[in-house]
Amino acid sequence: MSHESADEAIVQLASFANSISAHLAKNQVEAAGIPCFLSNENRPYGPISGGVRLHVRQQDLAAAHEVLHASQISMQALPTDEEAAATARCPRCHHTDIVCRQLPQPNDTLLTKLRLWLLAPEKPQCHCFHCGLDFEG
């Protein structure tokens, strides 16, 4: 009778509200050479049933976790210049409540992810929370 070692055990790496986010994460992990699989994809009620789950071997857990978190870039207000005292402003309403970024986030809508990936903008894509304008930073 053979027993699995602790390193060969399968563990849950993450859970996602929808299969698109789960597949994007799975693709990132697989691209790093880490075997993984999804479960709970075809369950009705989505997050109520635990969401779509991404699994890896116990021995790959730390590396897979690093792959997923290394690709996340937090959204931060972007100053126009390191030395400038003024902060970036919306070109429409001149408000400073904006965020700018160049890479998509796991929680972004599919349309936003595609826009950032396909257009590969050289300048950060910005959003003004005051008037709702999307613009290049």
Q: Do 65 and 91 belong to one domain?
A: no
- The crossing angle, in degrees rounded to 10, of helices 19-31 and 61-70 is 110
Q: Which residue has the higher pLDDT, 76 or 67?
A: 67
Evaluate if residue 78 carries a pLDDT over 50. Answer: no
Domain with 128 in it = 74-137
Residue 1 inside a domain? The answer is: no
Structural domains in the chain (count): 2
CATH of residue 26's domain is 3.30.70.790
Instruction: Give the per-residue pLDDT at 44.
Output: 61
Start-to-end CA distance of the chain, whole Å, equals 62
Most confident residue range from 8-17, 74-83, 113-122: 8-17
- Structure pTM? 0.49
Evaluate if residue 50 carries a pLDDT over 50. Answer: yes
